[in-house]
Amino acid sequence: MAKLKSVLGYSVAALGIPIMIAAVLGIRLFLNPNAFISATGLEHSANWTGGEVVQTIEHGTYQTDVHRPVFDALIGEHKKGFVQVAWRPPEALPARIDEEIDADADGRADFRIELETATKQASLTPYSPNVIELQGVYDLEETLAVRVRLKNPRQ
Protein backbone atom coordinates (compact mmCIF):
# COMPACT_ATOMS: atom_id res chain seq x y z
CA MET A 1 0.00 0.00 0.00
CA ALA A 2 2.81 2.38 0.95
CA LYS A 3 4.59 1.59 -2.32
CA LEU A 4 1.41 2.18 -4.34
CA LYS A 5 0.83 5.51 -2.60
CA SER A 6 4.43 6.43 -3.28
CA VAL A 7 4.20 5.54 -6.99
CA LEU A 8 0.92 7.45 -7.29
CA GLY A 9 2.41 10.43 -5.46
CA TYR A 10 5.44 10.68 -7.71
CA SER A 11 3.28 10.12 -10.83
CA VAL A 12 0.90 12.93 -9.91
CA ALA A 13 3.84 15.18 -9.05
CA ALA A 14 5.48 14.43 -12.41
CA LEU A 15 2.19 15.08 -14.19
CA GLY A 16 2.41 18.60 -12.81
CA ILE A 17 5.19 19.43 -15.28
CA PRO A 18 3.14 18.93 -18.50
CA ILE A 19 0.13 20.57 -16.83
CA MET A 20 2.21 23.63 -15.99
CA ILE A 21 3.68 23.72 -19.51
CA ALA A 22 0.14 23.59 -20.90
CA ALA A 23 -0.97 26.35 -18.53
CA VAL A 24 1.98 28.61 -19.41
CA LEU A 25 2.42 27.93 -23.10
CA GLY A 26 -0.50 25.92 -24.24
CA ILE A 27 -3.52 28.14 -23.70
CA ARG A 28 -3.01 29.88 -27.01
CA LEU A 29 -2.32 26.56 -28.70
CA PHE A 30 -5.08 24.42 -27.21
CA LEU A 31 -7.86 26.89 -26.65
CA ASN A 32 -9.50 29.55 -28.75
CA PRO A 33 -10.46 32.12 -26.08
CA ASN A 34 -13.17 33.63 -28.29
CA ALA A 35 -14.77 30.22 -28.82
CA PHE A 36 -14.56 29.61 -25.08
CA ILE A 37 -16.22 32.95 -24.37
CA SER A 38 -18.99 32.19 -26.90
CA ALA A 39 -19.52 28.70 -25.49
CA THR A 40 -19.76 29.90 -21.91
CA GLY A 41 -21.80 32.98 -22.79
CA LEU A 42 -19.52 35.16 -20.67
CA GLU A 43 -20.05 38.88 -21.09
CA HIS A 44 -19.02 42.05 -19.31
CA SER A 45 -21.18 43.39 -16.54
CA ALA A 46 -23.69 45.99 -17.68
CA ASN A 47 -22.01 48.28 -15.11
CA TRP A 48 -19.26 48.63 -17.71
CA THR A 49 -21.07 48.17 -21.05
CA GLY A 50 -24.20 50.10 -20.12
CA GLY A 51 -26.42 47.11 -20.89
CA GLU A 52 -28.23 46.15 -24.06
CA VAL A 53 -29.65 48.80 -26.39
CA VAL A 54 -33.44 48.58 -26.20
CA GLN A 55 -34.40 51.54 -28.36
CA THR A 56 -32.71 53.33 -31.27
CA ILE A 57 -34.03 56.69 -32.39
CA GLU A 58 -33.08 57.84 -35.89
CA HIS A 59 -32.29 61.54 -36.40
CA GLY A 60 -31.20 61.37 -40.04
CA THR A 61 -27.45 61.86 -39.75
CA TYR A 62 -27.13 60.39 -36.28
CA GLN A 63 -28.87 57.94 -33.92
CA THR A 64 -29.72 57.82 -30.25
CA ASP A 65 -29.28 54.47 -28.49
CA VAL A 66 -31.21 54.06 -25.26
CA HIS A 67 -29.83 51.20 -23.18
CA ARG A 68 -31.89 49.24 -20.70
CA PRO A 69 -31.93 50.58 -17.13
CA VAL A 70 -29.23 48.71 -15.18
CA PHE A 71 -30.05 47.53 -11.65
CA ASP A 72 -28.19 44.19 -12.02
CA ALA A 73 -27.29 42.25 -8.89
CA LEU A 74 -26.33 38.66 -8.11
CA ILE A 75 -29.72 38.07 -6.49
CA GLY A 76 -32.66 40.27 -7.44
CA GLU A 77 -31.99 43.90 -8.33
CA HIS A 78 -30.30 46.91 -6.73
CA LYS A 79 -32.37 49.80 -5.38
CA LYS A 80 -30.40 52.26 -7.49
CA GLY A 81 -28.85 52.00 -10.92
CA PHE A 82 -28.44 53.97 -14.10
CA VAL A 83 -29.48 54.22 -17.69
CA GLN A 84 -27.03 54.90 -20.51
CA VAL A 85 -28.02 57.00 -23.49
CA ALA A 86 -25.53 57.15 -26.36
CA TRP A 87 -25.34 59.13 -29.58
CA ARG A 88 -23.45 57.95 -32.68
CA PRO A 89 -21.49 58.40 -34.85
CA PRO A 90 -19.55 61.09 -33.00
CA GLU A 91 -18.47 62.90 -36.19
CA ALA A 92 -22.09 63.38 -37.31
CA LEU A 93 -23.45 64.79 -34.06
CA PRO A 94 -24.86 68.32 -34.04
CA ALA A 95 -23.28 71.00 -31.84
CA ARG A 96 -26.17 70.75 -29.40
CA ILE A 97 -28.39 67.79 -28.57
CA ASP A 98 -31.67 68.40 -26.79
CA GLU A 99 -33.65 65.22 -26.37
CA GLU A 100 -36.34 63.73 -24.15
CA ILE A 101 -35.69 60.12 -23.19
CA ASP A 102 -38.14 57.42 -22.20
CA ALA A 103 -35.83 55.26 -20.10
CA ASP A 104 -38.36 52.68 -18.91
CA ALA A 105 -40.20 52.33 -22.24
CA ASP A 106 -43.59 53.21 -20.72
CA GLY A 107 -44.41 55.69 -23.49
CA ARG A 108 -43.65 58.79 -21.35
CA ALA A 109 -40.38 60.73 -21.25
CA ASP A 110 -38.49 60.30 -17.96
CA PHE A 111 -35.92 63.08 -18.43
CA ARG A 112 -34.57 65.62 -20.83
CA ILE A 113 -30.90 65.84 -21.75
CA GLU A 114 -29.26 68.96 -23.17
CA LEU A 115 -25.74 68.21 -24.36
CA GLU A 116 -23.09 70.45 -25.92
CA THR A 117 -21.22 67.91 -28.02
CA ALA A 118 -18.04 69.96 -28.42
CA THR A 119 -17.51 70.74 -24.72
CA LYS A 120 -19.33 67.63 -23.43
CA GLN A 121 -21.28 69.76 -21.01
CA ALA A 122 -24.73 68.34 -20.24
CA SER A 123 -27.71 69.21 -18.13
CA LEU A 124 -30.55 67.00 -16.98
CA THR A 125 -34.19 67.86 -16.38
CA PRO A 126 -35.95 65.00 -14.55
CA TYR A 127 -39.63 64.39 -15.35
CA SER A 128 -39.95 61.26 -13.22
CA PRO A 129 -39.34 60.90 -9.46
CA ASN A 130 -37.16 57.87 -10.28
CA VAL A 131 -34.55 60.03 -12.02
CA ILE A 132 -31.83 61.00 -9.50
CA GLU A 133 -29.06 62.90 -11.29
CA LEU A 134 -26.70 63.03 -14.23
CA GLN A 135 -23.76 60.72 -13.51
CA GLY A 136 -21.52 61.95 -16.31
CA VAL A 137 -20.78 62.43 -19.99
CA TYR A 138 -18.44 59.87 -21.56
CA ASP A 139 -16.56 59.94 -24.83
CA LEU A 140 -16.66 56.22 -25.63
CA GLU A 141 -15.04 54.54 -28.62
CA GLU A 142 -17.79 55.10 -31.18
CA THR A 143 -20.39 57.01 -29.22
CA LEU A 144 -20.87 60.01 -27.00
CA ALA A 145 -22.81 58.77 -23.98
CA VAL A 146 -24.40 59.98 -20.79
CA ARG A 147 -25.34 57.98 -17.75
CA VAL A 148 -28.29 59.03 -15.61
CA ARG A 149 -28.72 57.62 -12.11
CA LEU A 150 -32.11 56.07 -11.45
CA LYS A 151 -34.10 54.67 -8.56
CA ASN A 152 -35.42 51.19 -9.21
CA PRO A 153 -39.23 51.51 -9.44
CA ARG A 154 -39.58 47.81 -8.58
CA GLN A 155 -37.80 48.20 -5.21
Residues near other proteins (CB under 8 A) are: 2, 5-6, 8-10, 12-14, 16-17, 19-25, 27-28, 31, 33-34, 36-37, 40-50, 72-74, 136, 138-141, 145
Residue 2 CB, shortest distance to other proteins, in Å, is 7
Residue 118 CB, shortest distance to other proteins, in Å, is 17
Distances (CA, A) of 51 to 16, 85, 129: 41, 10, 22
Residue 97 CB, shortest distance to other proteins, in Å, is 18
- Give me the amino acid identity at 84: Q
**CB nearer to other proteins: pick between 32 and 123:** 32
Residue 149 CB, shortest distance to other proteins, in Å, is 12
Size of the chain in residues: 155
CA-based radius of gyration for the chain = 25
**CB nearer to other proteins: pick between 44 and 129:** 44
Q: What single-letter DSSP state applies at residue 68? A: P
- Give me the amino acid identity at 140: L
Which residues lie below 8 Å from residue 120, measured CB to CB, with a gap of 6+?
A: 137, 139, 144
